[in-house]
Amino acid sequence: MVKEIHDIKHLENSSVRVDEMIKNLSGTDGEIIKENFEKYEPIEEVLSELEEKAKGYLFVVFSADWCKDCKIVVAAFAKMIKLRPAINSVFYKGIKSAPKDPDIRWRVPPSPPEVNDFDLRKIPTIYILDSNGKLIGEMIENPEHKPTLEEELVYILDKAQG
């Protein structure tokens, strides 16, 4: 069931942080993500703006190594977090669909049970929660309004902050 308010402590305790996410990458897909991570160069001024605006928020990332868009977007987001560790973020990986069951979008397990707490439609998805655990914005698959991920996240925060 989709929750309106999420338990921040639970999310922080049941997920991984960026260093562990990177460390656990393996195989061909993991190597591609690592290469994309190394290559990504965020716009410094926008990244600084994101760091400032992100205070008090939690970024929750759902992804899978096999996912084409995840290999790019999650690598870029991970690079941004490595450069700006004050941006509070957690990662849930290993998302798997349930193609043989039309009533279930994500198979749990191996997908983490938290997929059912959000209205997760596609991956990658980056949810932004306020300090109370309320969803204030999301980025699904790729930036929709801006050319880069960091600009899109600033845009989402600007909309939420009014």
Per-residue pLDDT of the chain (162 residues; tens, 9 = 90+): 678 999 999 999 999 999 999 999 999 999 999 999 999 999 999 999 999 999 999 999 999 999 999 999 999 999 999 999 999 999 999 998 888 888 788 888 888 999 989 989 999 999 999 999 999 999 999 999 999 999 999 999 999 988
Fold classification of 8-161 is: Glutaredoxin (3.40.30)
Q: What's residue 148's pLDDT?
A: 98
Neighbour-count burial of 83, counting CB atoms closer than 10 A to its CB (0-12 exposed, 13-18 middle, 19+ buried): middle
Structure confidence at residue 2 (pLDDT): 79
- Where do the structural domains in the chain lie, given as residue ranges? 8-161
Going across the sheet that includes 58-62, the strands are 89-92, 58-62, 125-129, 135-140
